[in-house]
Amino acid sequence: MPKKIIFTIFNILLFINSSAQVKKNKKSDLSPIFTNNDSETLLMVNILQKLNDSGDPINNYHWNKKLADLYYSQIETVPRDEKVKYWFKYCTQLLLAGENQNCINEIEALLQKQNLAYENLINKSNLPLIELLALAYLRLGEYNNCNNNHNEYSCILPLKDEAYHIDKEGSQKAIEIYSQIYKKFPIDKFKWLLNLAYMTIGEHPFNVPDSYFIKYPNWEKEKKDFPKFKEIAQNIGLAENGLSGGVSLEDFNNDGLIDVFLTSYGTKDQCKFFINKGSGFKDSTEEAGLAGLVGGLNTVHADYNNDGFTDIFILRGAWLGKGGKHPNSLLRNNGDGTFSDVTKSSGLLSFHPTQTAAWADVNNDGHLDLFIGNESRSNESHFCELYINQKNGKFLEKSSEYNLSSIKGFVKGVVFGDINNDQWPDLYLSVMGGVNLLFRNDFGIFKNISKSAGVEDPKYSFTSWFWDVNNDGFNDIFVSAYDESNLKNLSGDFVKELQGDQVISEKSKLFINNGDETFREESKSYNIDISMYAMGANFGDLDNDGWLDFYIGTGSPEFSSVIPNRMFRSIYGNQFEEVTSAGGFGHIQKGHGIGFADIDNDGDQDIYAVLGGAYEGDEYPNICFENPISSNNWIVIDLKGIDSNRSAIGSLLKIELDNGRTIYNSINTGGSFGANSLQAEIGLGKCKSIKMLKITWPNSKSQTFYNINVNKKYEIIEGQDKLSEKKYLKLRMSDNKKISHHN
């Protein structure tokens, strides 16, 4: 019988029996307990609550429970030839909502009732249904093991004994189905998922059939002496479960310890605030007056009002198009352990989809301004915004006056940096699907120099940042590739790259500053011309050698997108080597906000990563990697601006070491998706002392200090010619032993 006829018969049987099999399994949603009586905070809480209650699920694709209910209700009402489509949509939304077993039950019940074997239905027409079943089993195994029985080894490649699935049913069934699919459709995505499923039950590589076995020669080349980082989030109270979101690492209460602020994508997902107590972290969300402030894909922090306490800006609405008209939130730090939402009174209340913004003093008046990169689509125009600080707690939108009006595109990254060392912050935008933009700041008026600077690529890009990757005193630019046109081949690209095969998708770009306002693209020579598919990412110094390393969070919203997050270590500023496998960084959950900071006060930077996807059923606990490297020296510098902005954002540090080497550092929060601490945490290699430290403040004034001891924290106040040594005692957060490593 022809396949077309079989499929038609199958469809008829399907809709006749589907409604009897459909079972709704709703989860109750707990409303937050409002603890903040501040009227403006309550106003924002009410706005967010109304958006959640009244929004159209069709325009909010991640409202999967609501979408499942919607499609279920339409099965009986749509025309006969549409019933199958809506049943399939319903099953898909069950999976995306995390109702893995219900999705399986729906499909299996139908197959059983009609006496249909899935292997006989694996053809082009029916592949989506059988693939959905396989994926549901894979997700069931993941949820029952990695989520419900979560430990520090869960989902980190290469998997260890402690990470193997105790309940093997889900993976075993997925292997059974995917192997049948691969016989007829031998594509790399299915090949990768098969290998991954074998890994989860401890049968890779020895039990994987040769026909689809994947080797990892690139990872096998990694340095064996690079130490494993220990994942300690669960041990210290930071394994917060959520969807994609942002992170800000900062000392928000000025007690000398790094605290953690988190957001999550869901419209009912509470933002979280964790206070560092020295031996672990305390959830202080309600105490801080933040209950009811929900949602947010990213967050950036700074002291916008120069009162000495760091404030927070939450970004919302990204990816949702017409459904993304959500307000951002400016959270003023009150200095007493609480925050107040002052979005409306500050003049920042607007309704545009965004996930990216950056602070800088664009007019050098000593007060931080804010640029927001909004998302425009073909049928939705949302121009970017520049808010100028009015020095009284208020902002005015002034993009036209600064020659930044009419900027629209699908903006995914916004960063400020000084490309020509004139102490005026320049602006770079990563625009997915368009031309990336570089604006030179000419004394407060911006000029587009993207083309002449040579930094317009890649076409499909995401996170970005300024950094001095080669320590020559000039800021370079990194922008990750996120080839949206090739997302269906994401896993396949990863497999090809691992095995050294040619990858056709766009590659990330590293633009090296020539010192004349032009850049040269050097990703290939730095060994990072790869298809990273990076969303969140950030940079820091893993081994305190004075050369900047970076960590990327990978993936796409699709559940079949399960490639590992990756770490790259700088080799003397000349190239990068991957240490994903060697360092234990290869977490296969989707990575988003990434932050580097010395969380345990031992002189080296730890890494915090927000995990989880965009769909309701793709929640996962966040991770924190404790740095075990101790052999190199370091210095921590906390700058306090007086005439300049209090956060000292835009300040340049020049450090001359006793071995003749010079290190440069700029004060900012790092990349465009995830926020590092604003205190300068600088690796010094093997040097014994610092000969000279020069600070150039954003207003171009400078201070110079000589003969400074290493392995200490200092506070420097603008205009005061003294170093104030600050208490910096190592915290006891785990029993992970420090490991010596080369400089």
Please name the amino acid found at residue 432: M
Tell me whether strands 354-360 and 369-374 are parallel, antiparallel or unpaired: antiparallel
Dig out the tokens for 388 from the structure: 């100028």
The predicted pLDDT at position 710 comes to: 97
Query: What pLDDT does 575 receive?
Result: 96
* Angle, helix 64-74 to helix 83-96, in steps of 10 degrees: 160
**Unique residue bearing structure tokens 């290939």:** 524
**708/656 Cα distance (integer angstroms):** 10
Half-sphere exposure of 88 (CA within 13 A, CB side): 15
> Helix 127-142 vs helix 169-184: angle between axes, to the nearest 10 degrees?
150
CA dist., res. 271 & res. 579, Å (int): 32
What is the pTM (predicted TM-score) of this model?
0.94
**Per-residue pLDDT, 115:** 86
Query: Which residue type does 690 have?
Result: I
Can you tell me which residue has the tokens 């900027």? 407
Residues 6+ apart with CB under 8 A from 566: 532, 551, 552, 554, 578, 580, 585, 586
- Four-residue CA torsion sign, 159, 248, 251, 723: positive
* Burial class for 536, CB neighbours closer than 10 Å (0-12, 13-18, 19+): buried
Cis peptide before 205 (omega within 30 of 0): yes
Over the chain (743 residues), the average pLDDT of each successive run of 10 is 42 45 41 63 95 85 91 92 92 96 94 85 90 96 90 89 93 96 94 94 93 79 83 95 96 97 95 95 97 97 98 95 92 97 97 97 98 92 97 97 94 98 98 97 97 97 97 97 86 83 90 98 95 93 97 92 94 95 93 97 96 94 93 96 98 97 97 97 96 97 97 97 90 56 36
Q: What does the alpha-carbon distance between residue 226 and residue 543 come to, in Å, rounded to a whole number?
A: 10
> CB-based burial of residue 586 (10 Å sphere; 0-12 exposed, 13-18 middle, 19+ buried)?
buried
What is the distance between the alpha carbons of residues 40 and 723, in angstroms, rounded to a whole number? 40
Q: Which pLDDT score is estimated for 37?
A: 63
Taking the C-alpha atoms of residue 563 and residue 490, their distance in angstroms, rounded to an integer, is: 8
DSSP one-letter string for 41-65:
HHHHHHHHHHHHHH--GGG-TT-HH
Position 743 scores a pLDDT of 36
Residue found by looking up tokens 């947010």 in the block = 296
E-assigned strand segments in 579-737: 586-587, 591-597, 606-611, 620-621, 623-626, 633-640, 652-657, 662-666, 680-685, 689-696, 702-709, 712-717, 724-726
Instruction: Report the 3 state secondary structure along 622-638.
Output: CEEEECCECCCEEEEEE
Identify residue 367 by its one-letter amino acid code.
Answer: H
Q: Give the whole-angstrom CA distance, residue 488 versus residue 506.
A: 14
Burial of 17 (0-12, 13-18, 19+ CB in 10 A): middle
Residue with tokens 């306090």: 640
- What radius of gyration, in Å, describes the C-alpha atoms of the chain? 26
Q: In whole angstroms, how far apart are CA 383 and each of 314, 397, 434?
A: 18, 12, 14
Instruction: Reduce the DSSP state of residue 268 to 3 states and report it.
Output: coil
Cross-strand bridge partners of residue 594: 609
Cβ pair 360, 649 in contact under 8 A: yes
Give the integer Cα–Cα distance in Å for 306 and 185: 60
CB atoms within 10 A of CB 611: 30
Distance CA 667, CA 685 (A): 20
Strand, helix or coil at 142? helix
CA distance 243 to 61: 14
